[in-house]
Structure 1
Amino acid sequence: MQIQLEDQMVTLHVQYAKRKKLSVTVDGSDLITVKAPKGTSEETILGAVASIGPKILEQLRRNAAARKVPEAKRYDGEEVYLYLGREYALHELITVQERNADELKLALKKFYMSSLKKIIAERITRYQTQLRVKPKSIEIVESRTKWGSCSFDGKLTFNYRLAMAPPEVIDYVIIHELCHLLHMNHDRSFWRRLGSVMPDYKEKEAYLARQGQFMTL
């Protein structure tokens, strides 16, 4: 089954089953699955999909962005660099005179690490008080896979690349790791506690999923 959403023709994978409600999902491979009650008409399915067309197209755009491979930085003075969610020329962040590309990259990394350390120290106090927890230590690290982590003995680490994210996204990662001091697993209690402090946390997760690959040196 196919449907036109704005200027894009998309294919629907329809599954009929004994169920009361119709649902639509889009996975990372752009597969759009419609699960519908037995006997649901094509008109009803197409109408339901059309009603959430903008959401479907947005997910497809996110998928496309996630598959895009970011270009390697050249450190030649013509590029922009992310800091707290905004774009800056390199010379606005670090001293660029008499430095080659490798030296500029190292200096920028040090800038991000020192900046994030200060940002975390300033912003974590509020949430520690709200959650009534206190980490044993806080460290800024380099990681390819995690934005933050919490050890069983209460030590928190944060990926230096978070300095490239908007402050509210940094707050999300802070709250996420602080909540692990209360709930080590991602169970319902964990998400309820996190949501009680930041109700729109899913938007912050989506930002990291969408933009994280571009937050690189």
Structure 2
Amino acid sequence: MRLRVRRRPVKYARLEVRPDGTVVVTAPDGFDVDNLIKRHRGWLEAKLVEIDGLREIAESGFPINGEFYQVIQGRKAKVHTRFKTVVLSPSRDEVLLCLKKFLRKELLPLVEKYAPEMGVNPGKVYIRHQKSRWGSCSPRGNLNFNVRLVAIPPELRNYVVIHELAHLKHMNHSKAFWELVERFYPDYKTARKELKRWWSIIELNPHWRWLSESI
């Protein structure tokens, strides 16, 4: 078990398992970390077994739309949905640009569909390469989506779009916000769990690790 202890002036200790299998404990000075690990050993072992299973899945290809495409090394980056192949060029920037263009074609129709239904008027739509979140909504009404969304099943992208559009009415995660999300995506709690699973898969995927070396 790889253990990393971060001493911080926090009120309560926090225990998490990173996608790479590292166990991270955030705790104040003097806190008994060994006892915390001992008390949660069963949970930790289950999480590490889960990560091992996800690693095997993650290494089976390049994730596109929730499926794993065969990877081909080539001169020009391209996604072939018909043949379920992804051509990766030597340039990370070129590959990311290709994925962003592919994702934009998937996302814009969703924004155009749900925005009028939800009674909101979004500004510009940006697709960025980020390491911490699926999407965000700026105070000016612009929507930011992570290029990693190209990897996940289409129904989960629906949820992310609805989530960010809902922030145009509620710039928080209040009860009213979740009620609006639920109106358009009733099973949002399951979607949130699945997104965590897919985030781990992307973190463990060797091709995405290569793409993320530049950020």
Is TM > 0.5 for Structure 1 vs Structure 2? yes
* Cα separation, partners in 2 of 1:167 and 1:60, compared to 1, 3 Å: farther
Per the alignment, residue 163 of structure 1 pairs with 150
Q: Distance in 2 between matches of 1:208 and 1:181?
A: 21
Q: Distance in 1 between matches of 2:49 and 2:169?
A: 36
Which of these residues, 145, 148, 164, is aligned with residue 177 of structure 1?
164
Per the alignment, residue 178 of structure 2 pairs with 191
* Cα separation, partners in 2 of 1:63 and 1:174, compared to 1, 3 Å: farther
Give unmatched runs, 5+ long, in structure 2.
1-14, 18-41, 73-79, 209-215
Pair member with larger Rg? 1
- RMSD of aligned Cα (Å): 3.2
Per the alignment, residue 203 of structure 1 pairs with 190
Q: Distance in 2 between matches of 1:70 and 1:179?
A: 33
SS of the residue 1:152 aligns to? coil
Which of these residues, 200, 203, 211, is aligned with residue 213 of structure 1?
200
Q: Is the 8 A contact 2:122 2:165 kept in 1?
A: yes
Q: Distance in 1 between matches of 2:117 and 2:45?
A: 37
Per the alignment, residue 107 of structure 2 pairs with 120
TM (norm. structure 2) is 0.62
Per the alignment, residue 132 of structure 2 pairs with 145
Q: Distance in 1 between matches of 2:52 and 2:60?
A: 22
Q: Residue 81 in 1 paired to residue 68 in 2?
A: no
**Aligned pairs, how many?**
154
Q: Distance in 1 between matches of 2:125 and 2:175?
A: 26
Q: Distance in 2 between matches of 1:178 and 1:130?
A: 10
Deviation at 1:94, TM superposition (A): 4.1
Q: Is the 8 A contact 2:149 2:157 kept in 1?
A: yes
Per the alignment, residue 36 of structure 2 pairs with none
Q: Is the 8 A contact 1:79 1:90 kept in 2?
A: no
* Cα separation, partners in 2 of 1:122 and 1:149, compared to 1, 3 Å: same
Give unmatched runs, 5+ long, in structure 1.
1-26, 30-56
Q: Is the 8 A contact 2:62 2:86 kept in 1?
A: no
Q: Please list the CA deviations of residues 104-139 of structure 1 after superposition, one character each: whole Å capped at 9, or x if unmatched.
A: x44432222111111111221111121011111100
Deviation at 1:95, TM superposition (A): 3.9
Q: Please list the CA deviations of residues 90-113 of structure 1 after superposition, one character each: whole Å capped at 9, or x if unmatched.
A: 2344445xx5xx43x444322221
Deviation at 1:66, TM superposition (A): 5.0
Q: In the alignment, residue 90 of structure 1 is paired with which amino acid?
A: V
Q: In the alignment, residue 127 of structure 1 is paired with which amino acid?
A: Y
TM (norm. structure 1) is 0.61
* Cα separation, partners in 2 of 1:127 and 1:167, compared to 1, 3 Å: same
* Cα separation, partners in 2 of 1:215 and 1:185, compared to 1, 3 Å: same
Q: Distance in 2 between matches of 1:187 and 1:60?
A: 34
Q: Distance in 2 between matches of 1:198 and 1:60?
A: 33
Deviation at 1:163, TM superposition (A): 0.5
Q: Distance in 2 between matches of 1:179 and 1:62?
A: 32
